[in-house]
Amino acid sequence: MIYLDSAATTAVRREVLEAMWPYLTGDFGNPSSHHELGESASRALEGARETVAAWLGCRTSEVVFTSGGTESDNLAIKGIALATPRGRHIVTSAIEHEAVLESCSYLERFHGFEVTVVGVDGEGMLDLAAYEGALRPDTTLVTVMLANNEVGSVQPLKRITELARARGIPVHTDAVQAAGWLDLHDLGVDALSISGHKLGAPKGIGALYVRGRVPLEAVIHGGGQERDRRSGTENVAGAVGLAAAVALAHGADISALRDEFIEEVLATVPGAILTGPRESRLPGNASFCFPGTSGESILLALGEQGIICSAGSACAVGDDEPSHVLLAMGIEPAVAQTAVRFSLDATVTREQLHEVALEIAAARERVSALGS
């Protein structure tokens, strides 16, 4: 099997499992309990928080453990918007993850917020002029992802943040796909979301960085854990696993290998179209459209050869509509439905990618012959 769907999820690393094991077995205490087992769990939780904070370059008090990227996005957007009396206006981009877009929609529908969705160009890069023009005196929050999960476009987040902060507007970024690949320091953001299962930790653990001075209204209420920002008994083993994963995340640069793969696919697969930018792209992302076919048919054909990839985001359950990301980039719906994403990890080899490129060409020929 050749696994090229790391943007959807990664395998849990052995080192992560070993770090978690004690807190899944004998050291099973509740970190809020005032006895030996509880205090041991509390120390492990705070140790994990220290590791994640050091990795993000922030204070431990600014790290909130969550269940993953979706919850982190929800908490950041709803929590900052509802806690900040500045106004009821949010600026976001047209290619955000559903967790961001739906959180904005919720605030619009139930709390009277106005949401400005800024467009992107044909490579999935934010229209900076339109973005700057969208910022207003009553803008409550800007939320723009650092790197797109489908086409890999990496936004100029420092500039995005500078423009907002010059007007006193807090900025949140969904860094779920960027974490482990790009440097998350010095972005200037006020809130940042990550997810463990994109980094070699288990599903069900994530974190949100929130700058200490930024007000945050809790979304989940109860026992007041995580400094009253996220109630519920903490996932100690998950937090320890996330800390172990980020300690191992060294941001390997496989962009040269990715570029070779892109060039080979474009050269060997008739009509193949690269989606996303040539530059300013996640090192492990290679995404294409194959007009005249269907993305699902290509996936099935590749799957029969032991090649695992995806048609785009793994988070839009049961959705067979064209990708909103590709449509926002100006790609026709019929072409957008032929999309296939290959997301590489640091273990992939040149030989494997050469094999995959040949199999894509063969799959496209078979699918075209069937009239798919």
The verdict on 235 and 257 lying in the same domain is: no
The verdict on 230 and 260 lying in the same domain is: no
The rounded distance, in Å, linking the Cα atoms of 242 and 116 is: 34
Q: What is the pLDDT of residue 372?
A: 45
Q: What is the pLDDT of residue 100?
A: 98
Alpha carbon distances (Å) from 221 to 25, 34, 192, 228: 28, 22, 21, 8
Q: Is 199 within a domain? A: yes
Angle, vertex CA 73, rays to CA 115 and CA 85, nearest 5: 50
What's the total number of domains in the chain?
Answer: 2
Q: What is the pLDDT of residue 205?
A: 98
Q: Is 1 within a domain? A: no
Q: What is the pLDDT of residue 86?
A: 86
The verdict on 173 and 309 lying in the same domain is: no
**Beta strands 139-143; 89-93: pairing state:** parallel
Q: What is the pLDDT of residue 150?
A: 98
CB-based contacts of 266, cutoff 8 Å, min separation 6 = 272, 274
Q: Which of 104, 289, 309, 315 is catalytic?
A: 315
The rounded distance, in Å, linking the Cα atoms of 342 and 307 is: 10
Mean pLDDT of the chain: 95
Q: What is the pLDDT of residue 251?
A: 74
Residues of the chain with pLDDT under 50: 317, 372
Q: What is the pLDDT of residue 370?
A: 67
The verdict on 84 and 138 lying in the same domain is: yes
In 3D space, the residue among 150, 222, 160 whose CA is nearest the CA of residue 187 turns out to be 160
The verdict on 35 and 55 lying in the same domain is: yes
The verdict on 77 and 208 lying in the same domain is: yes
The answer to whether residue 315 is catalytic is yes
Q: Which of 181, 215, 248 is the endpoint of a domain?
A: 248
Q: What is the pLDDT of residue 315?
A: 56
The verdict on 135 and 204 lying in the same domain is: yes
Q: Is 256 within a domain? A: yes
Q: Is 5 within a domain? A: no
- In the chain, beta strands by DSSP E: 2-3, 63-66, 89-93, 114-118, 139-143, 171-174, 191-195, 206-210, 273-275, 285-289, 307-308, 339-343
Encoding tokens for residue 163?
Answer: 């423009």
Give me the domain span that covers residue 25: 14-248
Q: Are the CB atoms for 77 and 103 separated by under 8 Å? A: yes
CATH number at residue 283: 3.90.1150.10
Q: Are the CB atoms for 6 and 345 separated by under 8 Å? A: yes
Q: What is the pLDDT of residue 318?
A: 52
pTM of the model: 0.95
CATH number at residue 36: 3.40.640.10
Q: What is the pLDDT of residues 45-81, one digit of tens each?
A: 999 999 999 999 999 999 999 999 999 999 999 999 9
Q: What is the pLDDT of residue 365?
A: 87
